[in-house]
Structure 1
Amino acid sequence: MKKTKLRTIAEGNKKAVAGGSRGGFTGSRGWLAAGTLVAAAIGSSTPAMAFVTKDGGKTGQALSPEANLPVKRFSIAAGTLEDGLHAFQVASGLTIKQSLPAGTMAGFQTQGVTGLMPSGEALTKLLEGTGLSFRLDGTSTLVVGLRASADVSVTAQTTMPLSQFTEALTDTPQSITVVPQYIMKEQGISTLRDTLRNVPGISLAAGEGGAQGDSLTIRGFTARNDIFMDGIRDFGSYYRDSFNYEQVEVLEGPAGIEFGRGSTGGVINQESKRPTDSKFVTGTLQLGTDLTRRITVDVNRPLGHLPNGGGVAFRMNVMGDEANIAGRDVVENKRFGVAPSLAFGLGTTTRATVSWVHLGENDIPDYGIPWLLNKPAASKRSAYYGFRHSNFLNTHDDILTAKIEHDLDEHVSLRSVTRFANYPRNTQITEPQVCSNGAISTAPATYGQILAPTNIFNSALLCSYNNAANPTATDPATIMVNRNQITVKSVESDLWQQDSAILHFNIGHVAQSMVLGIEGGREMSNPTRFTFTGVPPATLLNPNEDLVFSGTKALNTITHVAADSGGVYFVDTMHLGRYIDVTGGIRYDYFYTQQRQYTASTTQNVFASRTDKKPSYRAAFVVKPTQHGSVYFDYGTSFNPSAESLSLSASTSVLPPEENETYEVGTKWDFLQEHLTVAGAAFRTVKDNARETSPSNALVTVLAGNQEVKGMQVSVTGRMPHDFNILSGYAYLDSKVIASQFFPNAIGAPLANVPKQTFNAWLTRGLLYRFVGGLGGNYVASRTASSTIPYVATAWTGTTPANAVVTAIGLKQVPGYWAFNAEVHRPINERFELQANVYNLLNRAFIDEPHPSHLVPGAGRSALFGVNYKF
């Protein structure tokens, strides 16, 4: 009787939603369900959700994302739709989200589905007769809701297509921020650096002497070597452009299991665009202040089908960019990129993609302004201390990737990726230096206690204004700046193989989602470095960038480094019913590095090698009170080998890896029918046995430091009606040195380049006359330049280092800053849209990228005007 009544109500619901002449509602509960659905349809401005069958069947029109969904074998019995959708998730490995009021799904029935077919077709069959449809949100999440007529995603939830993760973002026990393509488009973003300004807990840093390109810290620890592309390490020293990004994912917290060495504070993954079976041409044409010129073209073309029915598609992304930097003299960036990709077997059990990314850069680089004691030098914001006609940064990066995916059945999917990458660079950069001194203390220090000023300095190691022309000058008008030349010619390369299996199965009544992975390859670095003598200095207040370069070049070192590494891992998530997930994993890494270095001054060849064999662990559990929220705890370890950045020395070759532990507790919730996602986490990371280099002997390095970062972060992501979008986050980081052998005066001091607070916000809203406006900004608190020598002399008596007596000290740090940006865009017709962006609205002067030896100012106010097009 009860069963019959439920079936009657379900049938009434189905007929009511389907509408037309096929029937009406049965019973008051049917009217209630219908009213709920209609109210949801009227009250929500959610644009259309459509998708479905290849033959354009009952639930909508065929859309291109269907071809990219995996083919699986399904055996789902008839019954309640809720049970059917749960079985579909297990069988397909995809995530189902509902865009319906709570409780609406109850009572719906499905006729089930059986057979080997694309996942989209299987879900279509499950939904037949319900009046519901679905759409693809990202690459692995399907949103089920009311039938509509357009493929427009408006949910806040985004997905992460990395095979190392099997769960939806809400159910993944880790802080993850995804910056989608639409945010990059609204903000007019062209680089990875600007993309990462949308992520709390990240601080940008200036390039170093031996390695240029993107440099940053995540949750207080350097992440220059933790940048990935499609799940494989992208360790080249270059500045990355966003023209081929589908989205950028930042995983903060423990990631050693999934990504191997490094990943102390987290990792960054650049997700590339890939071919689909739809035909389109999109792109941008932009002109701006400071001679900015940029064009991008994104072309996708289906090329037919293979004999087995699989689709073939080609995609090409092209970019050209040339610009000066607002508020900076001489500096110029020129980039060209091309990224073709070819996909086979779309919509079948076996899919393959071959892609190539080429990015070339020819810049007049910017190492900014010098330090003056413990502050940025009081020079003009625009001052350029290099040589206009002799400084350059040339890179020509090529990344070739082949990926094959195969679905054995509904339980097992295999993935294999092969990559060869080549990163040549040739650079000569001027680093301006006035005084980058620090001095040490051999006096003891108590845990967490900073030494008193009288004990900080050894006067024999003190430097004053470091220039030979006028060593005791104090008037900025007479201070000379040393133009240190950083010259490197190098080629880094990478040959890598990554294989994984994604398993979905049951042990008893416990569902399991497991990833088994093995990867390995060879990374190489071959830098040749030079030194210069006789380089003319510059005046602090009026540097002459057009001065003819007259330095004498000499060979310094020739280095060859090769690292062979491999890792094997598994991560298993056990679904203990619908409310609790438990995750555990272990990884074992092998890392062997050999280095041969020739030093011209001694005419010696020095060989060094190091082998590390190290496990990493992870454990987590998730409690899901509802399908729209989770609370989690996560624990993970990682390690940093001595040759992590492909560099060794006699002293580091005998040192075992640094070891890291992270604890995190957090929560994630979806609101407003998944239009709004809120996440928060508290965490603590400890680095044991941090490497320290003796300030009196660069050949001596020991594992004698301990560092700690603890804090919290929150984020809000929303895609709501009326073009109301929000991406915002806040992070609080409390970092400090908790032990140090060589630098006891640093105990209790903050770590380098770690602001206590970072905040980002970006909001857009529909305005009158079809205009959409956006406003946002960033706050970065003050940062120090070094954790090992945090204090420098700011005043002393005496005229030489030998007789100097320190009378005052200060942290070598840069002040915090706010920067605000805005945009407005408006469609002209279906194909063209106008857009204007303004950056640094208030024209604030600030230091954007600090380094212990130099400082790079942020760009001044600038504007960008463009046309977005699609055909």
Structure 2
Amino acid sequence: MADSSLPTIQQPTVGRLRLGRVAPHVLGAASAVALGAAALPAQAQQASQPAQLPTIAVEGEKPAAAEGYRVEQSASPKFTAPLLDTPKSVTVIPQEVIQERAATSLTEVLRTTPGISLGSGEGGTAIGDRPFIRGFDAMSSTYIDGLRDTGAQSRDTFNLEQVEVTKGPSGAMVGRGATGGVLNLVSKTAKAEDFTAGSLTLGTDMTKRATADVNRVIDNNIAFRINAMAHDGEVAGRDEVDITKFGFAPTVTFGLNKPTRLTLSYFHFQTDGLPDYGHTFDPRTGKPISVSRDNFYGLTSRDFRETYYDGLTAQLEHDLTDNTVLRNTTRYAYAQNHYIVTKPDWNTGTATSPVNILTNGRIERETRSRNADTETVVNQTDLQSEFDLGGFKNAAITGIELAREQTKNRGYTLSPSSTQGDLYNPNSSDPYTGTITTSSQFANTRVATMAIYAIDTIALAPQWDLNLGLRLDDYRTNSYGTTQNGAFDGSRHDTFVNYQTGLVYKPMPNGSIYVAYGTSTNPVGSSAGEGGDEGNVAANNETLKPEENRSYELGTKWDLLNKTLSLTGAVFRTEKENARVSGVTNTAEQLPVGKQRVDGFEVGFAGNLTRAWKLFGGYTFLKSEIVDDGPNASNDGKEFPSIAPHNISLWTTYDLTRDWVVGGGAIYTARRYANTANTYELPSYWRFDAMVGYKVTENVDVQLNVQNLLDETYYDATHAGQFATVAPGRTALLTTNFKF
């Protein structure tokens, strides 16, 4: 683990990593660590027995995550039935789609899924992956292999098998948060075969990337696997913005194919880049200001972002019987997120009007900073079993979860903290002659969770299944620190219950219709793991009761064309009660009186239309509404910020010949309001991608991707309308993949 002491910067210069420095670290680490992984296999439901629950099989290797784009079973054991028979909307993005789209970040992966909007951090919310699922923030509802992954990060794809997006309140499955849904990142696991694989990528904007994937089996009892990655490149269409990152992930499993198995996994990932808050909004139009897309307002002599993550996981499994598995998983994780970023702003705090400032061609270069470290220890024990009770067949999982999270955040003090620059021709090389030191203000937050849960799928009749879930959480949090307004010290203790229920009817073996209801809870301080002010417990919020969320859903799922194509559809409503809103005269005051609602429907598809033609994507409609904003009545009836009412995503490939494949994608995101008052907005956009691949030999193929083919200027995200982050321009990537 890296030194967790908080660094002090005495001069405005920060060293930058380059690929030449990264590669030796990656190769050295890869050769020094032996690894492997085993995963519990999951059996798909047989079409001839529509109500039969999945058999728990614990011997042998995990089957392939997907056949083509279609996935039958979640990797999480908390899904006690195949996805076809699960009364929830679940989108699984398989590795094949990730690779074909040349997605190297979680952000790029999530573009593949309609119904997810992207947000940004600023001030009280740290920079990092911030997806909104069905209208609600899921930054603190991100999981790796079923365990909560705290600490704001910008994640890579090199160790991902697939990404699972569960939509709708999921408190019965995961506990706090999960208002709009949950992300579960499924790590690559060992296979019962020896192979060596990897890729080399060269691209526009100085992009260089290399990955390695090595799997070995020893005496059929020990499996090990290592994945490693090194990446260096700039961001298309953004002057000076770049990113360097590397990581490696070894695992080793003892007792492969034995009744008792032990898997040890380690994950290391770090980045060094120049952060980018994009452009300011124009108060005259309510849209991002009309300047060159390349305009970057940061300072290369001052701004930086460095992240660091170490995670160590141990999983012990024992087969009590052929149908019962006892599992214990423990993880320790340490995450750092340190940065200074320039926020372009027309508001100088002077009497001069914003319009005049824009007209005069000047921009304020404000700064935001973070110096946060997060430590997490979580232990989860569960019993997965299949049994008959009262004449009904059950597939159930029960468990206990214990977790402790601690975040320490000290920003940086800059003097001066703001300078001015040229709005239309900014110079990122302008010198910064001020001083940078570690701030005397700090915020420390601790969260302790104890929970018990049970989830069961009951076969009521040949065509009827009932899904039930219940979870009890004991949640304690406390925060202390200092701000510019003085010291704070607060604590909170909540006990809450969440549940889910769903009824599934199967008119045919390959189709299901379901109704479902679920709840979730957001206690005060529930975002503390992100290291943001929103996770602090203080006088303005420690007496507030938790936010309560509930969702109603009616959906259907069908496997067509001999189970090669999956189609899904759902209509839903999510409601939030006790939503925390700001006071009028004292905006720091929080009141638990708000109500919010999202109505919507979605359709999805994944699989093959023909042997040569594959499709993945869907459409989502969301109607968000601030039903009651408490004393801020002028916001009543307004839409949620950052949420697009219409979202389309499509990816398709076609095998022209045995050796040649072509593919393309389209993404449409409708206009999104940028602030609660709905006075600023991010414009709608279409983005198109293209791919062509050629199989050189049975072991080597070459793939060319062009992302944002038409070089569209569009904006990814915002935070309360304070800035608009600019998405990458046209990017071309040439990748050689190999596997022996």
Q: TM-score, normalised by structure 2?
A: 0.90
- Does the residue aligned with 1:184 lie in a helix, a strand or coil? helix
Equivalent position of 1:233 in the other structure = 148
Matched, 1:257 2:169: no
Equivalent position of 2:55 in the other structure = 92
Question: Alignment partner for residue 542 of structure 1, among 425, 444, 447?
Answer: 425
The 8 Å contact of residues 142 and 183 in structure 2, kept in 1 or not, is answered as yes
Describe how 1:618-767 pairs up with structure 2 within 5 A.
618-646=500-528, 647-694=536-583, 696-719=585-608, 721-767=610-656
Equivalent position of 1:9 in the other structure = none
Question: Alignment partner for residue 569 of structure 1, among 440, 443, 453?
Answer: 453
Q: Which has the higher helix share?
A: 1
- Does the residue aligned with 2:339 lie in a helix, a strand or coil? strand
Q: Distance in 2 between matches of 1:577 and 1:473?
A: 68
Equivalent position of 2:313 in the other structure = 401
The 8 Å contact of residues 70 and 349 in structure 1, kept in 2 or not, is answered as no
- Does the residue aligned with 2:139 lie in a helix, a strand or coil? coil
Deviation per CA, 1:62-86: give whole Å up to 9, x if none: xxx99866699xxxxxxxx999x89
Describe how 1:325-344 pairs up with structure 2 within 5 A.
325-344=235-254
Equivalent position of 1:7 in the other structure = none
- Does the residue aligned with 1:195 lie in a helix, a strand or coil? helix
How far apart are 1:627 and its partner, in Å? 1.6
The 8 Å contact of residues 464 and 504 in structure 2, kept in 1 or not, is answered as yes
Structure 1 residues 514 and 68, CA gap change in structure 2 (3 angstroms): closer
How far apart are 1:413 and its partner, in Å? 1.2
The 8 Å contact of residues 65 and 94 in structure 2, kept in 1 or not, is answered as no
CA RMSD of aligned residues (A): 2.3
Matched, 1:138 2:65: yes
Equivalent position of 1:188 in the other structure = 102
Equivalent position of 2:185 in the other structure = 270
Question: Alignment partner for residue 592 of structure 1, among 451, 462, 476?
Answer: 476
Matched, 1:557 2:441: yes
Deviation per CA, 1:219-262: give whole Å up to 9, x if none: 01111111110001112111000000000000001211011100
Question: Alignment partner for residue 784 of structure 1, among 662, 665, 673?
Answer: 673
Q: Which structure has the bigger radius of gyration?
A: 1
The 8 Å contact of residues 262 and 315 in structure 2, kept in 1 or not, is answered as yes
- Does the residue aligned with 1:183 lie in a helix, a strand or coil? helix
How far apart are 1:92 and its partner, in Å? 3.2
Q: Distance in 1 between matches of 2:598 and 2:551?
A: 9
Question: Alignment partner for residue 388 of structure 1, among 300, 317, 338?
Answer: 300
The 8 Å contact of residues 378 and 476 in structure 1, kept in 2 or not, is answered as no
The 8 Å contact of residues 199 and 729 in structure 1, kept in 2 or not, is answered as yes
Describe how 1:121-136 pairs up with structure 2 within 5 A.
136=63
Q: Distance in 2 between matches of 1:220 and 1:598?
A: 32
Equivalent position of 1:417 in the other structure = 329
Structure 1 residues 325 and 423, CA gap change in structure 2 (3 angstroms): same
Q: What letter corresponds to residue 733 of structure 2 in structure 1?
A: L
- Does the residue aligned with 1:92 lie in a helix, a strand or coil? coil
Structure 1 residues 723 and 284, CA gap change in structure 2 (3 angstroms): farther
Matched, 1:856 2:740: no
- Does the residue aligned with 1:474 lie in a helix, a strand or coil? helix
Equivalent position of 2:29 in the other structure = none
Q: Distance in 2 between matches of 1:769 and 1:347?
A: 36
Equivalent position of 1:831 in the other structure = 699
The 8 Å contact of residues 69 and 347 in structure 1, kept in 2 or not, is answered as no
How far apart are 1:573 and its partner, in Å? 1.4
Q: What letter corresponds to residue 261 of structure 2 in structure 1?
A: R
Describe how 1:74-473 pairs up with structure 2 within 5 A.
92-93=55-56, 118=59, 136-138=63-65, 153-154=67-68, 156-210=70-124, 211-305=126-220, 311-373=221-283, 374-435=286-347, 466=348, 468=350, 470-471=352-353, 473=355
- Does the residue aligned with 1:408 lie in a helix, a strand or coil? strand
How far apart are 1:550 and its partner, in Å? 2.8
Aligned residues: 690
Q: What letter corresponds to residue 706 of structure 2 in structure 1?
A: V
How far apart are 1:826 and its partner, in Å? 0.8
Stretch moving more, 776-785 or 545-554? 545-554
- Does the residue aligned with 1:185 lie in a helix, a strand or coil? helix
Matched, 1:813 2:723: no
How far apart are 1:119 and its partner, in Å? 7.3
Structure 1 residues 817 and 155, CA gap change in structure 2 (3 angstroms): closer
How far apart are 1:654 and its partner, in Å? 1.0
Structure 2 residues without counterparts, runs of 5 or longer: 1-35, 529-535
Q: Distance in 2 between matches of 1:725 and 1:848?
A: 27
Once the two structures are aligned, what percentage of the paired residues are identical? 34
How far apart are 1:768 and its partner, in Å? 4.1
Q: Distance in 1 between matches of 2:401 and 2:515?
A: 28
Q: Distance in 2 between matches of 1:383 and 1:70?
A: 50
The 8 Å contact of residues 56 and 324 in structure 2, kept in 1 or not, is answered as no
Q: What letter corresponds to residue 828 of structure 1 in structure 2?
A: V
- Does the residue aligned with 1:159 lie in a helix, a strand or coil? coil
Q: Distance in 1 between matches of 2:696 and 2:176?
A: 49
Matched, 1:608 2:490: yes
Structure 1 residues 70 and 269, CA gap change in structure 2 (3 angstroms): closer
- Does the residue aligned with 1:526 lie in a helix, a strand or coil? strand
Structure 1 residues without counterparts, runs of 5 or longer: 1-64, 73-80, 95-116, 121-134, 140-152, 306-310, 436-465, 791-810
Q: Distance in 2 between matches of 1:851 and 1:314?
A: 43
Q: Distance in 1 between matches of 2:68 and 2:671?
A: 37
Q: Distance in 1 between matches of 2:201 and 2:611?
A: 26
Equivalent position of 2:6 in the other structure = none
User: Whose relative contact order is higher, 1 or 2, with alpha carbons under 8 Å and at least 6 apart?
Assistant: 2
How far apart are 1:330 and its partner, in Å? 0.8
The 8 Å contact of residues 329 and 381 in structure 2, kept in 1 or not, is answered as yes
Q: What letter corresponds to residue 342 of structure 2 in structure 1?
A: T
Structure 1 residues 467 and 639, CA gap change in structure 2 (3 angstroms): same
The 8 Å contact of residues 37 and 189 in structure 2, kept in 1 or not, is answered as no
Q: What letter corresponds to residue 711 of structure 2 in structure 1?
A: N
Structure 1 residues 503 and 857, CA gap change in structure 2 (3 angstroms): same
- Does the residue aligned with 1:519 lie in a helix, a strand or coil? strand
Q: What letter corresponds to residue 399 of structure 2 in structure 1?
A: G
The 8 Å contact of residues 824 and 835 in structure 1, kept in 2 or not, is answered as yes
The 8 Å contact of residues 558 and 597 in structure 1, kept in 2 or not, is answered as yes
How far apart are 1:531 and its partner, in Å? 3.7
Q: Distance in 1 between matches of 2:400 and 2:732?
A: 47
Describe how 1:793-804 pairs up with structure 2 within 5 A.
none
Matched, 1:513 2:395: yes
Deviation per CA, 1:105-148: give whole Å up to 9, x if none: xxxxxxxxxxxx9479xxxxxxxxxxxxxx94439xxxxxxxxx
